[in-house]
Amino acid sequence: MFLFLLLALASAQTYTYSTLVSFPNSSKKSAAFPSAPTMDSSGNIYGVSQEGGAYNEGTVFKVTPEGVLSVIYSFGAAKNDGQSPVGTVIRDPAGNLYGLTSQGGASGSGIVFRVTPSGKETILHSFSGSSVTCPCPEPSLTRDSKGNLYGYDLYTNFGHGSIFKLAPTGTYSTLHDFCLLTNCTDGDQPSGRPILAANGKLYGVTYAGGDVSCPFESGCGTVFEVDTGGNETVLHNFTSNGDGAQPATKLTQDVSGNFYGTTYYGGLGYSTVFKVSSSGQESVLYSFCMQANCADGEYPNGALIRDNAGNLYGIASEGGNPIYKITAEGMESVILYPPGFAGFGYGLVMDAAGNLYGTTFQGGAAHTGSIYKLTKE
């Protein structure tokens, strides 16, 4: 196994690291402390920052491929506006951006917002419970072709979490509540965000609940499917018996309908990258911390992305905080360890040339974040 890992590292694709843009200090009314990025087909990057902007309550920003940063919208400009946006924004075909804030709104519990390319904001929904922020690095939304938005609210249903649906008309409804079964065998605490498959169903993970044989008191988590009527099917129950435990980020799907994700614990070492078929057959592609001092990474942080060849890319939060690549056969290689203290952030995007981009939360010249580029050589 050790020789196999060494060969994997030796054959790794090389990249050149550069800082695309450093975020100015928040006192300069620009963006500060960015979350995970989103990219359009032209290579422009979009995201939210938790601080900065005209009112220092966060921004929606854009960065061009040349590294030009502009603030599209500053939160705090409207009555009952959101504060401290979180997670990853999503785009519709017209270029409108949708996302979440963890504070603000009519009840101070956050909002769902839409921001046009020209910077006009619409508050689509104000949450009335506790903060919508979930205990994961990239809470976000999913949008279908009819304009319906889907996401998680962890502070409904007595803290077990739910999937909500927000129609274009503004009608908010709970599509599915978790932990309806004894001992939460149907899952508890959905994490990341749901994804919408071609069959019209939502797929995601719960961090807790599931199989009662799990050694963790809160449960090892599940992979689930929810149809348009809110009916749930558990595709896989994690057990920590070699298959991983407690998935914490959204799933990625391939053209054959297989799902890929990460668990924070479990596997042969610490943490896993797993694959689940549409019928629920699970396999571990890679177990982290198989090298001395966990040099291959540990505790994956943020969702996986997948290229056309089937390779998966992600970030590990410990073990040197590397960006890693895993082939379809389960061969892992470390692409790069972070230069400096700021780390590699919560998620990656890839352009058409195969270059990788991500954010640092505290890097850059003013230590208020940056966007980096890994140029494929």
Identify the helix (H) or strand (E) that includes residue 8. helix 2-10
| Interatomic CA distance for residues 152 and 192, integer angstroms | 8
Tens of pLDDT along the chain (377 residues) come to 333 343 344 445 789 999 999 988 766 567 778 989 999 999 999 999 988 899 999 999 999 999 999 999 999 999 999 999 999 999 999 999 999 998 999 988 899 999 999 999 999 999 886 544 444 456 799 999 999 999 998 777 778 999 999 999 999 999 999 999 999 999 999 998 999 999 999 999 999 999 999 999 999 999 999 999 999 999 999 999 889 999 989 999 999 999 999 999 998 888 999 999 999 999 999 999 988 889 999 999 889 999 999 999 999 999 999 999 999 999 999 999 988 777 888 899 999 999 999 999 877 777 788 999 999 98
Residues 6+ apart with CB under 8 A from 364: 19, 21, 22, 23, 342, 370
- Report the SS3 class of residue 287: strand
For 236-269, letters b (16+ CB in 10 Å) and e give bbbbbeebbbbbbbbbbbeeeebbbbbbbbbbeb
Closest CA to 134 of 102, 103, 107: 102
pTM: 0.93
The reported pLDDT for the residue numbered 33 is: 84
Report residue 109 CA to chain centroid gap.
Answer: 21
List the beta bridge partners of residue 225. Answer: 203, 233
Distance, C-alpha 18 to centroid of its chain = 23
Closest CA to 2 of 292, 273, 202: 292
User: What is the rounded distance in angstroms from the CA atom of residue 358 to the CA atom of residue 313?
Assistant: 12
Main-chain dihedrals φ then ψ at residue 231, nearest 5 degrees: -80, 130
If you count DSSP H runs as helices and E runs as strands, how many of each does the chain have, helices first? 1, 31
Q: Kindly report the number of other CB atoms within 10 A of residue 85's CB atom.
A: 30
Q: How far apart are CA 361 and CA 290, in angstroms?
A: 28
Using CA of residue 74, residue 65, residue 251, residue 341, what is the dihedral sign? negative
**What is the pLDDT at residue 333?**
94
Per-residue tokens: 311: 């390779």
Give me the pLDDT at residue 122, please: 97
Q: How many CB atoms lie within 10 A of CB 19?
A: 16
